[in-house]
Amino acid sequence: MTLWLVILVAGALALMMARANAWMWLLAEAVWIWLGGPLAGIELPIMVLLAILLFAPTLLVAIDAMRTSLITRPALDTFRRIMPRMSATERDAIEAGTVWWDGELFSGRPNWQRLFEVAPPRLSAEEQAFLDNDVEQLCAMVSDWDTSVKHQDLPPAAWQFIKERGFLGMIIPRQYGGKQFSAYMHSQVIMKLSSRCPAAAISVMVPNSLGPAELLLHYGTQAQKDHYLPRLAQGLEIPCFALTSPYAGSDAAAIPDVGVVCRGIHEGQETIGFKVTWSKRYITLAPVATVLGLAFRVRDPDGLLGDDPEPGITCALIPTSHPGVVTGRRHWPLNAVFQNGPTSGHEVFIPMDWVIGGLAQVGRGWRMLMECLAAGRAISLPSSNVGFSKLAVRGTSAYTAMRRQFKVEIGKFEGVQEALARMGGNLYMIDATRRLSALAVDAGEKPSVISAISKYHVTERGRTIVNDGMDVIGGKGICMGPGNFLARAYQQVPIAITVEGANILTRCLIIFGQGAIRCHPYVLRELAAAADENHERATQEFDKLLFAHLSFAAANFARAFVGGISYGWLLPSTGQAARQTRRYFRAVTHLSSALALLADVSMAVFGGTLKLRERISGRLGDVLSQLYLVSAALKRFEDDGRPAEDLPLLEWSVRDALHRAQEAIVDVLHNFPNPWIALALRVAIFPLGLIYRKPSDLLGTAVARAMQTPGPARERLLSDTYVPQGDDPLAAGERAFALTPTVQLLEQRLKPVIKEGQLPPMPQSLIEMKAWNALAFERGFISQQELGALDAFAHDGDLTIQVDDFAPDFDRKEIVDAEEARRLIV
């Protein structure tokens, strides 16, 4: 009997995972009852009763006419009743962009081959030369202290360099004079600039992200492209794009700025156009822009364009020199000095030709913005945040390796190692996410959901990295001055959290709200079928989709249960993965099935109110996000050639993300309105309890050691960022850091001499170290070469550890440049 029941459960799970049709179920039920029953000693009346109980519902599904009449039509009526109709704006947002790896993660069974088919990131020779030369030169021309204190902007020479070297035309095709760089190269440039000076990164980032060039390339008329793209590529025009209004921030679709269709005079001739009134704020580059991209809502009360009095959101390009355009004063966002400010106008007449794409694109601006924002958001903010995160990790890890307290390097204290492990693990993962998202854009995707995931989680983990860095370096981090590598990043982190979709909005409304419908294999098509006014056609289509959806949910239930009961070992991995990482591929498949199941049940339980349950949808989005982050980290490890030195970084980041995904599932179930359904889901997904643990202390120690040891793992972690030269404290820190193994070996070698009293202990203060070095040399314990290494370590280490202080009458307006600032230090 026990074996008979085990066969029943195993067979049912196998059929569900295989998504067998109703006739296959009937055959399996017949075999189980009529062949297995007698062998298990089941009496005939019991077998007949079981056959009735099993065959009846299966036949109901198998016979088309019965199924349609008794199940499909009532289900369609219920579906129409509980699911609210989508507005045109909601539909545009959901349908914008493309579905890529996010769809695989929603499938319950990701096809890893699809991810591995994406080639590893590579730069062309031209791109590599630009990164090594032009970007390197620009980094050398600017610094946070110089831009913030002296210019409160980029230096004029830097602005000229940016224009002349084509930084503003990286995404513009060569036929228009642009660079036509790949999305990955675009990301590399922004990351490197951000590792030196955020103002430079943002000034280059915005024209190559959501701005006139991007919109013109996809939607502009040929005449508009011919006029603007060469001028933008050469830096003859500085663009900005104005979307946010004082009363429409995150709810950008509700912008109050209006353009009324009318006739007016332009260049001496009467033409159809718009009288536009707008008031925008937070517009990056607005104070210096020469061409303004503007989003406004079109109204056509006189029907000059057609029958629709409210055509919708429209995008236009307006020269800022045009009469009526008011460029406001600058905003001052958290002491960041990139150009940002308001723009406004009152009943400014613009001709129809200034609409991006002309008359055909009137009212299509929201869709345009959603698609272009998806590509730009996948690159811009992830790249800039990874850049300053690499800066934080570089400076902090070097500092901990040489800074001593209680006669021990502070990087050996477990509390500091805990923070360093978070910094290293988070950096490994967000850099992997940046790379994969850029590769998606290069593959032709417009990844709306993935871009939201990247924006939210890279900026949040970037914030954690910077906060941990500040905790570790302590007083070094809170004293402003040219020697402080972290304070500006710490100040300005909230800017990235806020812009291009505030993180609270992105997490609670976009990632799952858009992903659940856009990435789900059936929901969007079910909504379309339910909206079909042809009842017979709607019923037939809904019938097909409904039972495919139920089969999909059953397969995910079975896969989640099998994964939970076997700790993932009975789920498929991929033969292309390294042996050490295959369990993580199985874990993603397990949690992918759990997410798909949980999403289906949540949509069934909450119906149309799910979008209002933001904490539930936010946590479901967290699961999807963590699975994408894990995928990115695994892909990076494979693309990098599976370096053994990077395994601690990979494992820490993956285990952390899997644990976060698990906790998000648990939090959803704890807050489910029906406790019995929540219990059933808990048993289905985690039948043996919670199986994904946080990274262990030993793993954290391994990560912290890798970060404090010169070698390939640290080099890969911090690759493609700017390292200054000379007496810059960050440069001095890197030089001293490179000498730490030599210093440690010498100290170890001299321990017996020190113990015997022939030489005093090595001083904790690097200022006193030079005298100790000279004494050791004088007594013959170290060579001339070793003396030079120790002296260099003492000099550069002291430059790294010291903080800036200024005269009592110091006034930052008197500072003329970074070198002068250092001269004024007391």
Average pLDDT for 556-584: 88
**Cα→Cα distances 258→240, 261, 502, 618, Å:** 19, 10, 24, 33
Alpha helices in 643-783 (DSSP H): 647-670, 675-685, 697-707, 712-717, 729-749, 751-755, 766-778
Give the tokens for residue 459. 């900026």
Identify the pLDDT of residue 823: 45
Q: Which residues pair with 279 in a beta bridge?
A: 344
500 assigned to active site: yes
What's the pLDDT score for residue 535? 81
Contacts of 485 by beta carbon, 8 Å cutoff, 6+ apart: 391, 392, 395, 729, 730
Higher pLDDT, 453 or 579: 453
- Please tell me the predicted confidence (pLDDT) of residue 35: 63
What are the structure tokens assigned to 647, written together? Answer: 């395994």
User: Could you tell me how far CA 534 lies from the centroid of its own chain?
Assistant: 42
Question: Which tokens go with 336?
Answer: 């960041």
Distance CA 126, CA 500 (A): 30
Of the pLDDT bands very low, low, confident and very high (cuts 50, 70, 90), residue 824 is: very low
Please provide the DSSP assignment of 414-468 as one string. Answer: HHHHHHHHHHHHHHHHHHHHHHHHHHHHHTT--BHHHHHHHHHHHHHHHHHHHHH
Q: Three-state DSSP class for 817?
A: coil
Query: Is the distance from CB of 244 to CB of 211 less than 8 angstroms?
Result: no
Q: How far is CA 674 from the centre of its chain?
A: 33
Percent of the chain with pLDDT over 70: 92
* Lookup: tokens for 717: 């972690």
Residue 293: pLDDT band with limits 50, 70, 90: very high
On whether the CB atoms of residues 595 and 106 are closer than 8 A, the answer is yes
Residue 601: φ, ψ to 5°? -65, -40
- By three-state DSSP, how is residue 4 classified? helix
Instruction: Report the C-alpha gap between 190 and 154 in whole angstroms.
Output: 15
- Sort 796 into a burial class: Cβ within 10 Å, 0-12 / 13-18 / 19+: buried
Given this model, what pLDDT does residue 636 score? 97
What pLDDT, on a 0 to 100 scale, did the predictor assign at position 657?
98
Closest CA to 119 of 48, 215, 184, 199: 184
762 neighbors 793 (Cβ within 8 angstroms): no
Q: How many CA atoms lie within 13 A of 202 on its CB side?
A: 25
State the Cα–Cα distance between residues 559 and 595, nearest whole angstrom: 11
Map residue 570 onto helix, strand or coil.
Answer: coil
pLDDT per residue as tens digits for the range 240-273: 999 888 887 766 667 899 999 999 999 889 999 9
Tokens at residue 355, please? 């609409």
- In the prediction, which pLDDT does 818 show? 42
Q: Are 591 and 628 in contact (CB under 8 A)?
A: no
**Active-site residue among 500, 541, 734, 786?**
500
Determine the Cα–Cα distance for residues 621 and 602; give it in Å rounded to an integer.
12
Task: Give Cα 652 to chain centroid, integer Å.
Answer: 18
Q: Give percent of the chain above pLDDT 90.
A: 62
What pLDDT was estimated at residue 18?
83
More reliable by pLDDT, 83 or 293: 293
C-alpha to C-alpha distance for 591 and 582, rounded to whole angstroms: 15
CA separation for the pair 815, 190 (Å, rounded): 28
Are 206 and 167 within 8 A, CB to CB?
no
Give residue 820's pLDDT. 52
Residue 734, φ and ψ in degrees, nearest 5: -65, -40
Find the DSSP H helices in 19-107: 22-30, 37-39, 44-62, 64-67, 73-82, 88-95, 101-106
**651-660 average pLDDT score:** 98
Residue 570 contacts residue 584 (beta carbons within 8 Å): no
Contact criterion met (CB below 8 Å) for 19 and 555: yes
| Euclidean distance between CA atoms 483 and 471, whole angstroms | 17
Residues 6+ positions from 225 with CB-CB distance below 8 Å? 176, 216, 217
Token reading at 824? 């004024």
Structure tokens given for 83: 């699911």
- Half-sphere exposure at residue 718, Cβ-oriented, CA atoms within 13 angstroms: 27
Tell me the per-residue pLDDT of 186-238, one tens digit each, with 9 for 90 and over: 999 999 999 999 999 999 999 998 778 989 999 999 999 999 999 999 999 99
Count of all residues that appear for the chain in the document = 826
The number of beta carbons lying within 10 Å of the beta carbon of residue 359 is 11
Q: What is the DSSP letter of 475?
A: H
The tens digit of pLDDT for each residue in 740-768 reads 999 999 989 999 989 888 999 888 788 88
27-84 confidence digits (pLDDT tens): 777 776 766 666 556 666 776 676 677 777 877 778 888 888 888 888 888 888 776 6
Spell out a b/e string for 698-735, using b for 16 or more CB atoms within 10 Å of the CB, else e: ebbbbbbbbbbbbeebbebbbebbbbbeeebbbbbbbb
Using CA atoms, how far residue 222 sits from 55, 175, 288, 566, 746, in Å, is 65, 13, 26, 59, 69
Per-residue pLDDT at 821 exceeds 50: no
* Model confidence at 91: pLDDT above 90: no
More confident residue, 210 or 695: 695
Contacts of residue 154, Cβ cutoff 8 Å, sequence gap at least 6? 142, 147, 162, 197, 199, 200, 203, 337
What are the pLDDT digits (tens) for 384-435? Answer: 999 999 999 999 999 999 888 888 889 999 999 999 999 999 999 999 999 9
Which two structure tokens, joined as six digits, stand for 528? 């379309």
Q: What is the pLDDT of residues 426-446, one digit of tens each?
A: 999 999 999 999 999 999 888
Q: Which of 506, 405, 413 is nearest to 453 (CA)?
A: 506
What is the overall mean pLDDT for the chain?
89
CA 58 to chain centre: 45
Read off the pLDDT band of 825 (50, 70, 90). Answer: very low
Among the residue ranges 305-314, 525-534, 798-807, the one predicted with the least confidence is 525-534
Q: Name the DSSP class of 572.
A: -
Report the amino acid identity of residue 501.
G
Q: What is the pLDDT of residue 2?
A: 64
> CA-CA distance, 201 to 183, in Å (whole number)?
15
